[in-house]
Amino acid sequence: MNSLLLNCDIGESFGAWTMGLDAEVMPFIDCANIACGFHASDPSTMRKTVALAVEHGVRIGAHPAYPDLVGFGRRSMDCTPQEVEDLLLYQVGALEAMCRRHSTEVTYVKPHGALYQDMMRKPQILRAVMRAIASYDKSLPLMLMTTRDNSAAQAIGDEFGLTLWFEAFADRAYDAAGYLVARSQPGAVHHDSEIIVNQAITLARGEPLVASDGSSLPLQAQTLCVHGDNASSVAAVRRIREAFDALGQA
């Protein structure tokens, strides 16, 4: 049984527009990936989400993205490595200010959306992300996607002296290389709570998943991404938490 931290993208409301069931999902997670204003959120939402995480003893992570509110940060942007470094520093610093308001701090970084995907496929973007974190605070772990082979990312992390938390997903399908199947493809996102919970348990047990081509896919991870977008997803997170607690006691 692997001790997987449950992390959730959270604090993604904007002004009068509410997204996600943050208050409902927060009691069941270990790590809150709080949006920093570029793909979602605003200063008041950031502050309130930090306060909610503190109330439930949840670790706070910065969830920086490309500057793309309209596209929810899911569209890749042609940013230079220096621009990526700058936007990381800007967003982490903004969340850190809200954390100080509540006598807490940012404890890790998980890039969002297209930036997360780009850094996994473009070493120059991954280096820019790591350079920003290392210059800000080398003690902050970087959360990034686990794949079939994590050696290249680990080597770059070692170069910058960073701790890496490799992340798996309970509600996403994987291809044979261990990358997420594109959302545009059928079956890319699991909606059945039984499938989601079973995939979480399989990962926690260190057992291989079945990739989209039917092959066996071993994945090593320290953290598992879950979602609190709606009542059914919150119910799935609750079941995952209960299953993990039961496995830990077995």
Region 178-189: mean pLDDT is: 90
Share of the chain above pLDDT 90, in %: 90
Asked if residue 183 has pLDDT above 90, the reply is no
The answer to pTM > 0.85 is yes
In this predicted structure, the answer to whether residue 193 has a pLDDT above a threshold of 60 is yes
Rounded mean pLDDT of 100-129? 97
Is 90 exceeded by the pLDDT of residue 222? yes
Q: What is the pLDDT of residues 10-69, one digit of tens each?
A: 999 999 999 999 999 999 999 999 999 999 999 999 999 999 999 999 999 999 999 999
3-state secondary structure the chain: CCCCEEEEEECCCECCECCCCHHHHHHHCCEEEEECCCCCCCHHHHHHHHHHHHHCCCEEEEECCCCCCCCCCCCCCCCCHHHHHHHHHHHHHHHHHHHHHCCCCCCEECCCHHHHHHHHHCHHHHHHHHHHHHHHCCCCCEEEECCCCCHHHHHHHHHHCCCEEEEEECCECECCCCCECCCCCCCCECCCHHHHHHHHHHHHCCCCEECCCCCEECCCCCEEEECCCCHHHHHHHHHHHHHHHHHHHC
Topology of 5-170+221-227 in CATH? TIM Barrel (3.20.20)
pLDDT band per the 50, 70, 90 thresholds, residue 249: very low
Per-residue confidence (pLDDT) for residue 104, from 0 to 100: 98
Report domain extents, the chain. 5-170+221-227
Mean pLDDT, the chain, whole residue set? 95
So what's the pLDDT on residue 1? Answer: 52
Mean pLDDT of 188-203: 92
Does the structure show a pLDDT above 80 at 81? yes
Count other Cβ atoms within 10 Å, centred on residue 51: 13
Please report the pLDDT score of residue 248 as a whole number.
Answer: 73
